[in-house]
Amino acid sequence: MIKFRTMKIDTPQMHSNDLQNPNYYITSVGRILRKFSLDELPQIIHVISGKMSLVGPRPSLENQNLLIEKRNSLGILKIKPGITGLAQINGRDEITLDEKVEFDYEYTKKQSMLLDLKILLKTISVVSKTKGLKH
């Protein structure tokens, strides 16, 4: 997945929420990019190429085995990942892994153009208010 680099080069390969002191690893420019989710913009290339959608479950890191396993058991991995989704507008970093999976599953059951439009509009509000971000 293409993203702007926001973490220092020596950062361990794991989700930033799992790091002991994530703020130590985030660069000063990275802090700004993350605050307004600008680090996600390069993913538009994946949307244009058809590998991703604007809305869908957020892609997982390769080492997020539990998340991948839970999503796979519910058929969530059968749909394209998205830049934003129900989990992002309902808590982002503040919700548990199980809650993320529940939102992803709900999206797979209710997927529609109208729901996508609602999620995109709500994303603008959530991102502009920097809601739900830990760092």
Mean pLDDT of all residues in the chain? 88
In the prediction, which pLDDT does 121 show? 96
| pTM higher than the cut 0.85 | no
Amino acid (one-letter) located at 108: T
106/86 Cα distance (integer angstroms): 8
Average pLDDT rounded to a whole number, residues 57-74: 90
pLDDT digits (tens, 9 = 90+) for 67-114: 999 999 999 999 999 999 999 999 877 899 999 999 999 999 999 999
31/71 Cα distance (integer angstroms): 29
In the prediction, which pLDDT does 64 show? 85
Q: Is the pLDDT assigned to residue 135 strictly greater than 70?
A: no
What residue ranges do the domains of the chain occupy?
16-128
